[in-house]
Structure 1
Amino acid sequence: MLRALHLGDLLVAVPALRALRRALPDHRIVLATTPALAPLVELTGAVDELLPTTGPDALTWDRPSPDVAVNLHGRGPQSHHALDALSPRRRIGFRAPGWDGPEFDEVAEKHPHERERWCAMLAAHGIPADPGDLRLPPPPGLPPRRCGTPVLVHPGARYGSKRWPARRFAEVATALNCPLTPVAITGSADERDLAVAVAGAAGLAESRVLAGRTDLAQLCALVAGAALVVSGDTGVAHLAAAFGTPSVTLFGPVDPAQWGPPADGPHVTLGDADVRRGDPFADDPDPALLAVGVGDVLRAAARLRDHPRSRTPARAPEAR
């Protein structure tokens, strides 16, 4: 299976991965994906082996031809050609030259959410998949929830179009910080300067800045045990959905109907679709994102305090 993308891309594919695990119980499931995602791959319970791959062009395979090749990476020729080169007996993906399957545009029209699209693609190949099967079990060694459970504020995002202004994140952090729910600022090493600036403007000690100090496994544990996650439309928001952690996610260029959390979970999405520009690669924040005020976020957080945290257990891996 090929899904060599980013954190959020892997998490929206979890229902499809588990469906394939159930449909192919006697097969060894090898997922070609970004090696840094190994802690998450293990938590899915659906994969036997991670094949480190940074993209379709980097896919290498020095073993006998696989019985089945599954394209969960995309619908374009690059990913299809990479899997064709393995000479699999069976191909599962969207329709392309040499590939049977549903037309992507027809599926996307009926199923706008990325998670649902992959499940619909599998269903067209005779493999039933549940788009709601996205929950992950708590990471090993997660301590019990107690007083002092943190609120995580995550101000960074890969592209400027998805970055809410730092001063607004600081105002949110100031308002939410209290002894029962101390605020911590998360992010990657590249986002540490941003996180330090937000913490400083919020009056938080630099010890509350976790950006650049956590690997993915540690970030998973933080999110799984948090009282609340406030972020833009980025990977940490998908982690909150996967662990059932209450979250407020700020959407700019992307429609939450395509990439947002489940509607029935303890999650609130904010953004003004009426002014959405829709360019995810722009350097400046999308107008839909800028339309969200600090008060909007704080009101959403207050609503989530009264929402029972989702306790639906993650589905156990299939015995095999």
Structure 2
Amino acid sequence: MTSRRAARPLLLSYRALGLGDLLTGIPALRALGRAFPDCRHVLCAPAQLSPLVALVDGIDAVSDTRPLAVPARELRAPAVAVNLHGRGPESHRALQALAPQRLIAFDCPAAGHAGPAYDDDEHEVRRWCRLLEAGGIPADPGDLDLRLPPGAARHGGEGATVLHPGAANAARRWPIARFAEVARRELRRGRRVLVTGSPDERALGVELAERAGLDPEAVLAGRTGLDELAGVIAGAGRVVCGDTGVGHLATALGTPSLLLFGPTAPSRWGPPAARSQHVVLWAGREGDPHADSPDAGLLELDVERVDAALQQLPGRRDARPRRRGPTAA
């Protein structure tokens, strides 16, 4: 870190969560960058998200931070610290430990902080924009787009149907046999099918490929970093997935997507209603998102309904280009 950068006031954003959390936080993060142009904007988040943070203008660096952990000591006494992580008290206290000059966060008596009330039923994107607006910082919930990454069409994925069968919890995983049937139908239509996922989801991807008769090379799960995954999604013709970070990535990149929601209402985590290229199927009732088996409502979404919706997806809309990205942490 150069002395010039060290001399700049520090703006600290705290969102030490996952992929979908980063992507739904983009409008608030960009708004903060615009509101404090003279500050060095550091995002406290897991380091593995850095390749995608590099696509978000208005952030200068990422500081590797585990969920609810106190950020690095060198980030002490920021001019402004913003809790985009949760309602507190743990996340509030993590930032208070740094003694910020100003803390922007939701109301939390347990942490001794007064602010706007947290709303459990609010959409995740709008929630953080409202927090900033309460502090006099304009924020546009529609500012979700990412610039297309260099080399967007990767792994032969240009125009392909991308299936992402994994999810953090079993409650949000549509059955693998149903994904395989969708894959078989797409192959019969002459479409290339790719399967994405994390390293932990590779076995799931391999099972899907075996059931559907896909070439093993079609399984990208565990073989792509986040930057390559963004390239695959950006170049794809369409994406089918559950309520996961990949769905938010498709929204950000303008790739048509079919999102299969189960225990969580799309009114809280779904794509913007105005973006018609992203279609949500949902049984209409909530459940336990942490259950160890697929949600009953998710199971009501049969292959026929999903396949019909997939064939009716609108064409893609390219995300508008962005100006710059951050430096390394």
Do residues 311 (structure 1) and 325 (structure 2) align?
no
Query: Which residues of structure 1 form unaligned runs of 5+?
Result: none
1:78 to partner: Cα distance: 0.6
Structure-2 separation of matches of 1:26 and 1:183: 46
Spell out the pairing of 1:1-320 with structure 2 (5 A cutoff): 1-97=13-109, 98-105=112-119, 108=120, 112-143=122-153, 149-177=159-187, 181-265=191-275, 266-274=277-285, 276=286, 278-304=287-313, 307-314=314-321, 316=323
Structure-2 separation of matches of 1:148 and 1:243: 14
Contact in 1 for aligned 2:253/2:318 (Cα 8 Å):
no
Percent identity over the alignment is 50
Structure-2 separation of matches of 1:181 and 1:196: 19
Contact in 2 for aligned 1:4/1:34 (Cα 8 Å):
yes
1:63 to partner: Cα distance: 4.6
* Partner secondary structure for residue 269 of structure 1: strand
Q: 1:148 to 1:62 in 2, by over 3 A?
A: closer
Map of 2:5 onto structure 1: none
Query: Which residues of structure 2 form unaligned runs of 5+?
Result: 1-12
Q: Which letter maps to 1:99?
A: H
Contact in 1 for aligned 2:157/2:235 (Cα 8 Å):
no
Q: 1:292 to 1:96 in 2, by over 3 A?
A: same
1:316 to partner: Cα distance: 3.8
Contact in 1 for aligned 2:158/2:235 (Cα 8 Å):
no
TM-score (norm 1): 0.92
Contact in 1 for aligned 2:148/2:319 (Cα 8 Å):
no
Contact in 1 for aligned 2:28/2:129 (Cα 8 Å):
yes
Q: Which letter maps to 1:216?
A: L
Structure of higher RCO (CA pairs closer than 8 Å, 6+ residues apart): 2
Tell me which moved more, 175-184 or 49-58.
175-184
Structure-2 separation of matches of 1:47 and 1:99: 26
Q: Which letter maps to 1:247?
A: S
Q: 1:315 to 1:120 in 2, by over 3 A?
A: farther
Q: 1:43 to 1:178 in 2, by over 3 A?
A: farther
* Partner secondary structure for residue 107 of structure 2: coil
Q: Which letter maps to 2:116?
A: P
Query: Root-mean-square deviation (CA), in Å?
Result: 2.0
The aligned length equals 310
TM-score (norm 2): 0.89
Q: Which letter maps to 1:138?
A: L
* Partner secondary structure for residue 78 of structure 2: coil
Contact in 2 for aligned 1:148/1:179 (Cα 8 Å):
no
